[in-house]
Amino acid sequence: MPVLVPNKYAQGLQEHPLVSSPKIENQSNNKEAASVSKPVKSVESAASVDSPSTAIVKEKKELSSVWRETFLPPQEDFFECRVTYMKSDGVICVVDVANIELMERFNENMQRVKPRLSRAKCVEEDSLVVVQGEKKLHRGQVLSMDRKSESAQIYLIDHGSVVTSSVQEIYDPVSRIADKKAFAIQVKLLSNTGVQTNKHLTLRLLGPKTQEGIYPVQLKPKMTIPLNLPIELLQMSPEVTVARILEGCLQRDEKPAALLQISTINQINDAMGDKLNGKPDQQQPISLSQLDTCTTMFLAAHTKQGYRRAFLLDLIDAPPKRTFLVYEMDEGRISITTDVCRIPSELLGHPIQTFAMKLNDEMQQPPLEQLVEDNGPDFTVKLRLKSIQGQEKVRKASAALLSKGKQLGEVELTTFMGDVSYLGHKYWRETIKNGTMVRITYNVGYKHVFISSMETLQYASLFKRMENMCKPFEQSDQITIGSIVLVASPKLGHFRGEISGVANDLFRVYNIDTGATHQVEAQFLRMSCRFLRDMPVSLSRVKLKSVCDIPECAVNPINAGCQLMKQIMTDNVQFRVEFVGSSTELVDLYFCSGEPTSLTLRMLPLMFKPVSMYSLEVATSDPAPASAPAPAAAPASAAIPEGLKVKTTPPAASETVEDLPPLPPSPPVSPEIETKGSETLERFYYKDVPKILIPLGKRVNAFLLNGSGLHQTGAITACHFKDVTEAASYQKLFNLVDSLGKCSYPDLIDYVPCIDEMVLAVFSEDNNWYRGVCEEIIGDKARIFFCDYGNHELVSMKKLKPMSSNLMQAINATKCYIEGFDNSEKFSLWEKHIKTDLNILCRVEEGPDSNSRTLTILDLDKIVSQKTS
C-alpha cells in the first residue's frame, strides 16, 4: 500500500507509553491522497519549545496505516456499546463498552505527551493528525483543507463527529498513535427512535460496511415492554391525540381521565400486521403456565382492527374456546378475543403508545370533554422535567397541555396498563357516541329508557362460562353494599351487577349492563373476577325524543306503543342512536335495516292507541312463535333479525292480565287466525329467514333488483348468483310463491299478520304474489317490505296470505350503497344505463348497516364516456 501519511519529526513516547487500544473500525476509503496541501506558514515546531536535552529524531519514519482499521466485535454476537455521536442523516457512532476504559486511558496518555508533539508542518487530506478539542486531544482523519482560512475539516476517528480546526491546533502523530485501530464504529439502524448520545445500546453487525463506511446493524430486542412513560419520544415529538375519555361517576367522586396516544402508533400496528397477518408460521403460541405468578403478561391479540400489542387482563379457560380479555396498550381499548400469540421480539422494545392524563386542578380548568369539544382531539404536551429528575422508572410526570401553541392547563401523565382502579374508577365505561349501534335494554316507564352498545350482546354467554371462575360466597355477610357480583340464577339467568341493598334476606342487584334491578337470594350470587369486573360498561339512560314530552294523563297505561317497546327489548333490535341537540340525554333511534325509520315516528301514534282486552286475552293464551319448533327451512343459525321489522311475540301462556305490570304492559299481537277446525296457524318470521349477501370482492358481478330509491338513499337492491343454475333455482322460487299466492285459502278467516311476520302479498304494479314482511298495521292495510326486491307498499289485508314452510328459503337480495353517489351528471347517466343493463361490475365492501354492502362501480367512467359520445 502506498504511504498516505508524510514522514514527521516527533519525540518518542517511551516515558509515557500509550495503552494498547481496542479495535474499532473507522470509515476510510483506503485511497491515495488526491492532492497534497502546501506547507502551512508560520507554524512553529513543537520541538522548539522542548528542553535542549530533548532528542529530535532526524530521520524520516513511515507511519503505520493501522489507524484506518476499526476493532470490530464478532458479527454473530450482540455487543453493548455507547452512543458517542448522532449524525443528521441517521447514522450514529458507537464505541464498544468493553473498550471504553481502554480508549479513555489511551486519550489520557495522549494528553500527557501533548508537550512533545509537533505542530503539523504539512496537513494533507486523508492523513492522520492529532487535533486539540475543547478539553483534550483527539485522533482525526483530514477530510478537506481550506488554504485561505488555514483550517481543516477533520473526522474524529474515536468519537465519530466532524470538526473544523485551525492548523494552529493540529499536530503530527507519532508512531504509537498511528499503531492503534479506531474506536468509533459508524452504524445505521432502521429507526433511531429513543436513541440518544451517551445511551447504551445492544447491537449486532449484519454485514460488511458500505462504501461510505457504514455498518448495517440490528438492535437487540428487549424481551419485555418498557412500562415507563415515553419521555424521549415526547421530547422529540410532543404531539398527542385523545384516544378516549374515561368518564368517572360523580356519586363516587371519580375524576374523568383521558387516554393520550402518541404519533408513532401506526408504525407499530403496520409492523404487527406485516409480521402476523396470514402467517401462521410466525404466530408463536403463548404460554400460560406462569399466569398465576406473572403479574404482567403481554401478547399479540387478534382484534377486529387486526393484530395489536396487548396486556392480558384475564381469561376464561372453558369450552368452547379460551377467551381472553386484553387491554390494547397502543390503542387504549379493552377487547375480547380468542386468538392470541407472542408479540414478535423486534416489536417488544417499543414503549406503550398510550398513557393516561388527568387535569391537576379541575376547579380552574374546563372539563376534559369541553377541552376536546372546543379544541379538537389533537394536543401538545410540554413535560415539566423537574418532576422526573433523578427517577430511573418514570411512571408519572407533570406537563403543560397546549393546543395550537396556547396553554390550556397543567396535567399529570401516568403509565396506564388497562386497570381503571389505578385511575380511581370502579368500571371501565365506554361512552355511547352519536351514530353508535345500540339496543334498548330496559324501559323506565315511557319517558326514560336504557340503551347499551350492541357489543354487550355477547356478555350473557360469557357470564355463564364464568360461573366456575367466580367462587360462591361462604356467608351472606360477605356480600357488601357496592360490591360487584355474578348472578347465576335459574330464573334470571347470568349477569353481573352491583349490590345496592338488602332486605328480607334478598339482595337488591343493579344490572350494570341493562339498568334493571332484581331481588336475588344469596345462594345465586358469586364473587367477582377480573374478567367480570373489567369488561367495558356501555350503558346510558336517555329520553326518546317527543315521546318523553307526552303528559302521563294522555297515555293509556296499556297502549300499543309500550307493548312495542317491550317487544323491541325482547328481540334486541338494533338501532342507530342520534343525539338531539348538544345534550346526550335526548335521543332518537333509527332502525338499522331497510328504510331508516325513526322509532319516535313509529311510537307516537301507538302511544295513544289502547290495546283491546280481546288482544290481551289472545296474548295470554297464544304461545310465542319463538318457542315453537323452528321449521326445517329456517334453522336456528339463521341471520340476525334486522331492526326495521319488529316482531311482536306474545308473552308466555302462564301470564295473565292481572300479572302484567302497568308499565311496560304486555306486547301487542294481531288477532289469532281462526280456521274451521279452530287450529292455530303456524307463523314464520323475517328474522328466521337466512340472508345470502353479495360476497365481498374486488371484482364482483351484481344483478340489479330495484333502483327506485337511488336518489333518496343512494342505495339499490341487488343480488349475486354463482352461476345460471343458482339463478334458475331462485326464479323457480318466485314462480312457486306466485302460484301458491293465487291458490285459495277457504279455511282462512280475517287473517291479520303480526309485525315482522313473513307473508305472501300482491304487488300492485303487476298483480303478482311475492314474499314480504309486515312492518306496520295501518287500519285495514299493512305496510309490506318486499324482501326479495327491496320495495315497500301499503297492501290491503285481503291481498295478504300467511307464508308456508316450504317458502322459507334464503333471501338473496342485498341493500347496496353506491360509493360516492350524488346527483351529478355522471351518476344520472349511470342510472339511465342500469335501466337497460342490470349487470353491475363492482368492488364490494362491508356496508354501513347490518346486512348491507357498499359498491364501487368499476366501469363508471367507461359507461359515462359511452353515453356522452
Q: What are the pLDDT digits (tens) for 444-465?
A: 888 899 999 998 988 999 999 9
Question: How far apart are the C-alpha atoms of 654 and 746, rounded to whole Å?
Answer: 33
Residue type, 237: S
Nearest to 271 by CA among 312, 224, 306: 306
Question: Greatest CA separation found in the chain?
Answer: 139
Q: Are residues 848 and 740 in the same domain?
A: yes
493 and 610: one domain?
Answer: no
Model pLDDT, residue 779: 78
Last residue of some domain: 347, 367, 392? 347
In sequence order, the 6+-apart residues with CB closer than 8 A to the CB of 490 are 524
From 123-132, 177-186, 425-434, 721-730, the region with the lowest mean pLDDT: 721-730
Residues 715 and 832 in one domain: yes
Q: How large is the average pLDDT for residues 785-799?
A: 90
Q: Is residue 556 part of a domain?
A: yes
Please give the residue that has the higher pLDDT: either 5 or 716.
716
The average confidence (pLDDT) of the chain is 80
CA atoms of 606 and 611, how far apart (whole Å) = 10
| Amino acid code (one letter) for 204 | R
For the residues 43-51, what does the mean pLDDT come to? Answer: 35
- Residue 739: phi, psi to the nearest 5? -70, -40
Residue 622: name the closest of 681, 562, 686, 688 by CA: 681
CA distances 423 to 236, 432, 814, Å, are 27, 21, 46
**Which domain-ending residue is among 347, 364, 381?**
347
Q: Say whether pLDDT at 411 is over 60.
A: yes
Q: Give, as one character, the DSSP assignment of residue 753.
A: P
Residue 613 has pLDDT above 50, yes or no: no
* Whether 251 and 275 share a structural domain: no
Q: How confident is the model at residue 671 (pLDDT cuts 50, 70, 90)?
A: very low
634 has pLDDT over 50: no
Residue type, 808: M
Asked, for residue 32, whether it belongs to a domain, the answer is no
Look up residue 661 and give its three cell numbers.
305490570
Flag the least confident range among 205-209, 280-284, 486-490. Answer: 280-284
pLDDT at 363 over 70: no
Stretch among 6-15, 263-272, 430-439 having the lowest mean pLDDT? 6-15
State the pLDDT at residue 629: 32
Assign residue 594 a region (left: φ > 0; alpha: ψ between -120 and 50; beta: otherwise). Answer: left
State the pLDDT at residue 354: 94
441 in a structural domain: no
Determine, yes or no, domain membership for 251. Answer: yes
In percent, the amount of the chain with pLDDT more than 70 equals 82
The domain that contains 803 carries what CATH number? Answer: 2.30.30.140
pLDDT tens-digit profile of 816-838? 988 888 877 788 888 888 888 88
Model pTM score: 0.53
Query: What pLDDT is stored for residue 290 in this prediction?
Result: 60
Q: Who contacts 65 (Cβ-Cβ below 8 Å, separation ≥6)?
A: 1, 4, 5, 178
Mean pLDDT confidence for 535-547: 92
Tell me, yes or no, whether 710 and 801 share the same domain: yes
Per-residue confidence at 279, pLDDT binned at 50, 70, 90? confident
In a domain, 516, yes or no: yes
pLDDT, mean of residues 140-166 = 91
Q: Which domain holds residue 177?
A: 46-205
pLDDT (0 to 100) of residue 595: 62
- Judgement on whether residues 271 and 129 belong to the same structural domain of the protein: no
C-alpha cell at 351: 414503549
pLDDT tens sequence across 840-851 = 999 999 887 778
Q: Quick check: 57 pLDDT over 80?
A: no
| pLDDT value, residue 418 | 92
Q: What is the pLDDT at residue 601?
A: 87
pLDDT interval class at 29 (50, 70, 90):
very low
* Residue 202: strand, helix, or coil: strand
DSSP string for 492-519: TEEEEEEEEEEETTEEEEEETTT--EEE
Q: What CA–CA distances, in Å, run from 603 to 41, 607, 795?
A: 101, 6, 21
* Residue 219 belongs to a domain: no
pLDDT of residue 747: 53
Q: Are residues 591 and 509 in the same domain?
A: no
pLDDT attached to residue 289: 63
Which stretch, 56-70, 569-583, 641-655, has highest mean pLDDT?
569-583
Query: Which pLDDT tens digit goes with each residue over 594-609?
Result: 666 889 888 888 888 8
Mean pLDDT along residues 81-103: 89
Confidence (pLDDT) at 293? 57
Boundary residue ending a domain (347, 370, 396): 347
In this structure, the answer to whether residues 254 and 275 fall within a common structural domain is: no
Domain membership flag for residue 213: no
Please check whether residues 193 and 301 belong to one and the same domain: no
Domains: count for the chain:
6
Residue 76 shares a structural domain with residue 155: yes
Same domain, 568 and 582: yes
- Report yes or no on 456 lying in a domain: no
* Residue 81 and residue 197 in one domain: yes
Per-residue pLDDT band for 56 (boundaries 50, 70, 90) equals: very low
Q: Mean pLDDT, to the nearest integer, of 212-224?
A: 81
